[in-house]
Structure 1
Amino acid sequence: MKQFFLTMGGVFAGLLLFFVILPFIFLTMIIGAASSSSKQATVANTVLELDLRGGISDQASSNPFAAFSGSGLSVMKVVDTLAQAEKDDHVKVLLLRLPEGGVTPASADEIRQAIRRFRASGKPVIAHSQGFQPVGTVIDSYMIGASASELWMQNTANFQVTGFASNEVFLGRAFEKYGVRADFEQRYEYKNAVNEYTQSDFTGPHREAMTAWMTSIYTSALANAASDRKQTPAALKATIEAGPYSAQQALSLKLIDKIGQAEEAEAEARRRAGSNAEIVEFGDYASSQGSRDGSGASAIAIVGAEGDIVTGRGGGGGFGGGSSIHSDDTAKAIYDAIEDKDVKAIVFRVSSPGGSPEASEQILAAVRTARAAGKPVVVSMGSYAASGGYWISSEADWIVAQPSTLTGSIGVYGGKFVLAPALARFGVDMRGISVGGDYSDAFSPTEPFTTSQRAAFSASMDKTYDEFVQRVSTGRRLPVDRVREIARGRVWTGAQAKDLGLVDQLGGVTEAIGKARELARIPASQSVRFKRYPKAESPWEALSSVFGVSSEAAHALIAIGGVMSDPQAEAAMRAIEADRMRSRGAVVMADTPLQ
């Protein structure tokens, strides 16, 4: 009977594929081709418009269907495209549309650096804001705007950049009230990801660590904005913290340069670009240019990794735009780069809060192999490279991070939720049966750990923590005792991590590529190619992967919800993946309060 339903599910999925999805894809391709052929990407005087209001990921997705679920804008694409635009004689001006809320700090750092390189080519940048709202790290949105040649603001908008706040939800009291027991352990007191389940308020270490990294991010953003606005950090800090302000007040305090509607800023950008200037959207320009792959006999591999770290393969990733680092895929990407004789060094771009220690170790083993093969590995850290994200980075030849990257979190946690008492209050009885050894039902939600189970689980936690510490000690050439001292699960910013010896250099992917060239002994005068891994699947390969076996039909039908960017479907898939990781015991995962 089960096989019958699976077969029927496969038949249904096949019918859906051929009569709904394939025609949809063909139509999309035809429309896209007609659109691209009917309009030139650049004109003699082009204003390139970069709109950051729709959100931004760290890296472009390798999923061929990701375009259906979002804007497709990524930090790596912004850096790559602006590097091309600064050398393109057609592009005269960059027009920035700023978000009202915050931007992930490390992303803001890297975008600012790319904008400053664009300006250094002699081309102006006009930024327009419809207000700065106190949501997330709004100081970083302002920092991006401050890097422009001119910062405009709408007349009715408010300048509410007065600091940086973060809120946490604690479920400890609710769990206690409803009879849910969060039976977790952590290594050690700064491993705060578990606190949302076990506490009702910040613990001392939790508050200490968050205050420290928030202060580091805030101080860094203020210093950058002050430098770009030609003020001292102390003066800018005093001014913004005395706010909020109206647009007129912000102008009088020299926090912005002009007041005007978006259309007026566009008109000014066109005027500066020259006669018959046209505005070209960033995505259209990027598509017309392609990747900045360069030329030359020597190549540098750029391996991308964004999201939670899990074991296995991506399998096409469904139709949604969500990201995970699948250990088989990422390790294979590194091994492919090792086997390519043209590749002389690897830049490993990591943006991850962590995940499975087994998956992390598999990826780190590939990094070790690359180094043993004589191919230097330089890690470029994105928004996060914490916990498992640091594990996979720890033994690289060189680590580059943004000042505001969240990294470290060298620690581990794990456990389970005991749900039976809570369900019993509603007349639902949960019972379990097990065969085998005492540990066979250790992760049953019916009962807390027994004494022997807890001892065994605690020993496995200690083992994972010790292995993590040892890898950091080996990779960073630090004594084990020193690593234990600065670890304990604590999150650090890139700036703090550099002072501690966990990071070698502050910067972005541009600086990481420069270091990779140096380590590979590629002369600065010699051209270099970039090879990007993992290679994106074509839509046909992804469809084959998703629909190829009937046992995957149910998963495929769920994934189809991602075509329409169904947030409930995407949330369900993420929850399933997270639960799968937790059920394995230890997790090297950092809290991600900026997402």
Structure 2
Amino acid sequence: MSKLLLFHSTPKIIPRTVTSVLSRPLPIPSFPKTHSRVSLSPSISSSTLRTHFQWQNFSFSCSFSTQAFDDSSSSTETQKVEEEKIGSQSGEKSEAKEYPSGEVEYEKISGWKSFVVKLKMLIAFPWERVRKGSVLTMKLRGQISDQLKSRFSSGISLPQICENFVKAAYDPRISGVYLHIEPLNCGWGKVEEIRRHILNFKKSGKFIIAYIPACGEKEYYLACACEEIYAPPSAYFSLYGLTVQASFLGGVLEKIGIEPQVQRIGKYKSAGDQLTRKTMSEENCEMLTSLLDNIYGNWLDVVSASKGKKREDVENFINEGVYKVEKLKEECLITNIHYDDEVISILKERLGVPKDKNLLAVDYRKYSKVRKWTLGLAGGRDLIAVIRASGSISRVRSPLSSPSSGIIAEQIIEKIRSVR
């Protein structure tokens, strides 16, 4: 079930919504002790919005520009040329190209390479040593960063999560993974990447168990990739479908006498609708509905395939409303209802650990210090450089900006040149 939520309430105006440019330097006014007359006279032109402020013996003007897009006639000509090329090539038969599927084939380390790996483990640094038969424990919650986290920073990052799954699959000291999944604050792209590495880890034959104290669509999407799913009796499930929200400032700006002028290229360009419209356009509604249907349809296909159910049955079950964890167990969507300590007892019994002994476990942060070289996964001579960048793009770094604030053009260019 996917739906759109439209809010017509008056939102707060962000100061960055409208930019002001002073037409000339402002002299410092000398305000009299008596009450001064202030007059506000807005006049809207075709390109900018000018507002004149007048005090006694003092005046200045502000120019507000809300042009969001730069329209050009060359774009329509380019579009026509591309359509003609597509039409001319429609009758021709193109050869089918084989693209990499991204699937990973697990090959167990054996022979001479296995002896070398064991030797590297013996001479490894103390912080890289892990006891044999250990269980890798990972907690996924909150925001997941695109950038690698340092040893002094908190939080988790996508590269470290994926790398730990790869290392644990080949590490003979790791017996399995115990995955805690709590409410996530990240996009579906990161969730899909983590799920793909979970499936690749399962090819090693090692177990992976999920524990979900609170669960939504993203959390269950990851959990259903694991072999077993456990939840406490107090678990909260919110499997209600997907929604999207949108707010519009057209009515607010109209009340204060501001008329934004936005130029768009194509009817599906909806970035300027937030300033000009009071409700959602039909094209924007069509686009968001298609996006929600695609994500929700993929979610239903993946969940139904992993649990061996029909898509219609899963969809009807979600539409009924999932509130109690017992209902999920009845439908075999989770393995059983247990607390965390009970799941640990199950793991100890599976690994043959006595009840009075602690489970051998290695934390996510400690295991991140294990190098790929120690496990024989350092790779060959040919390397692929991966440059990760996220955030807003700026030409130069501001003196007050932090090291991880956005993309600096000068640094990215220098980084690309250095990896050539």
Counterpart of 1:302, as a letter, is: V
Contact 1:43 1:278 in 2 (8 A): yes
Confirm or deny that 1:305 pairs with 2:389: yes
Counterpart of 1:53, as a letter, is: R
Q: Which residue in 1 is equivalent to 2:148?
A: 60
Confirm or deny that 1:175 pairs with 2:253: yes
Per-residue deviation, 1:110: 0.7
1:560-575 correspondence to structure 2 within 5 Å: none
Please give the per-residue CA displacement for 1:6-41, whole angstroms capped at 9, x wherever unaligned: xxxxxxxxxxxxxxxxxxxxxxxxxxxxxxx98765
Contact 1:312 1:327 in 2 (8 A): yes
Q: Structure 1 residue aligned with 2:176, among 93, 96, 100?
A: 93
Counterpart of 1:299, as a letter, is: L
Confirm or deny that 1:295 pairs with 2:379: yes
Q: Which residue in 2 is equivalent to 1:129?
A: 212
Counterpart of 1:42, as a letter, is: V
Q: Which residue in 2 is equivalent to 1:373?
A: none
Cα 1:271–1:186 shift into 2, 3 Å: farther
Per-residue deviation, 1:267: 3.2
Secondary structure at 1:192's aligned position in 2?
Answer: coil
Confirm or deny that 1:279 pairs with 2:357: no
Per-residue deviation, 1:286: 0.8
Per-residue deviation, 1:227: 1.8
Per-residue deviation, 1:190: 1.9
Please give the per-residue CA displacement for 1:39-80, whole angstroms capped at 9, x wherever unaligned: 76522221112211132123326xx69x54x41x12222112
Secondary structure at 2:293's aligned position in 1?
Answer: helix
Q: Distance in 1 between matches of 2:160 and 2:380?
A: 22
Counterpart of 1:298, as a letter, is: D
Cα 1:263–1:194 shift into 2, 3 Å: farther
TM-score where L is the length of structure 2: 0.63
Q: Distance in 2 between matches of 1:278 and 1:194?
A: 56
Contact 1:112 1:144 in 2 (8 A): yes
The number of equivalent residue pairs is 290
Cα 1:40–1:161 shift into 2, 3 Å: same
Confirm or deny that 1:336 pairs with 2:418: yes
Q: Which residue in 1 is equivalent to 2:166?
A: 83
Per-residue deviation, 1:114: 0.3
Q: Structure 2 residue aligned with 1:145, among 211, 223, 227?
A: 223
Q: Distance in 2 between matches of 1:332 and 1:205?
A: 41
1:500-515 correspondence to structure 2 within 5 Å: none
Contact 1:128 1:151 in 2 (8 A): yes
Counting helix residues as a fraction of each chain, which structure ranks higher? 1
Per-residue deviation, 1:273: 4.1
Per-residue deviation, 1:200: 2.1
Q: Which residue in 2 is equivalent to 1:468?
A: none
Q: Distance in 1 between matches of 2:220 and 2:304?
A: 11
Q: Which residue in 1 is equivalent to 2:64?
A: none
Q: Distance in 1 between matches of 2:176 and 2:234?
A: 26
Contact 2:167 2:372 in 1 (8 A): no
Cα 1:114–1:317 shift into 2, 3 Å: farther
1:488-567 correspondence to structure 2 within 5 Å: none
TM-score where L is the length of structure 1: 0.45
Q: Which residue in 1 is equivalent to 2:235?
A: 157
Cα 1:204–1:93 shift into 2, 3 Å: same
Secondary structure at 1:183's aligned position in 2?
Answer: coil
Per-residue deviation, 1:238: 2.0
Counterpart of 1:122, as a letter, is: G
Q: Distance in 2 between matches of 1:48 and 1:100?
A: 20
Cα 1:178–1:271 shift into 2, 3 Å: farther
Cα 1:302–1:208 shift into 2, 3 Å: same
Secondary structure at 1:127's aligned position in 2?
Answer: strand
Confirm or deny that 1:187 pairs with 2:271: no
Per-residue deviation, 1:82: 0.7
Q: Distance in 2 between matches of 1:288 and 1:58?
A: 20
Q: Distance in 1 between matches of 2:237 and 2:360?
A: 30
Q: Structure 2 residue aligned with 1:268, among 346, 349, 368?
A: 346
Counterpart of 2:159, as a letter, is: M
Q: Which residue in 2 is equivalent to 1:242?
A: 320
Uncovered stretches (5+) of structure 1, i.e. residues with no partner: 1-36, 133-137, 339-595
Q: Distance in 1 between matches of 2:359 and 2:166?
A: 21
Contact 1:271 1:277 in 2 (8 A): no
Secondary structure at 1:190's aligned position in 2?
Answer: coil
Please give the per-residue CA displacement for 1:254-302, whole angstroms capped at 9, x wherever unaligned: 1111111223223333443443532222122112336897232222212
Per-residue deviation, 1:231: 2.0
Please give the per-residue CA displacement for 1:176-223, whole angstroms capped at 9, x wherever unaligned: 223344333332322222222222221111111111111111111221
Alpha-carbon RMSD:
2.7
Counterpart of 2:406, as a letter, is: S
Counterpart of 1:109, as a letter, is: E
Counterpart of 1:289, as a letter, is: R
Secondary structure at 2:182's aligned position in 1?
Answer: coil
Larger of the two Rg values belongs to structure: 2
Please give the per-residue CA displacement for 1:442-479, whole angstroms capped at 9, x wherever unaligned: xxxxxxxxxxxxxxxxxxxxxxxxxxxxxxxxxxxxxx
Q: Distance in 2 between matches of 1:87 and 1:196?
A: 50
Secondary structure at 1:251's aligned position in 2?
Answer: helix
Contact 2:127 2:370 in 1 (8 A): no
Secondary structure at 2:234's aligned position in 1?
Answer: coil
Counterpart of 1:131, as a letter, is: A
**Paired-residue identity, %:** 22
Cα 1:104–1:266 shift into 2, 3 Å: farther
Per-residue deviation, 1:251: 0.5
Counterpart of 2:134, as a letter, is: T
Q: Distance in 2 between matches of 1:168 and 1:215?
A: 17
Counterpart of 1:263, as a letter, is: D
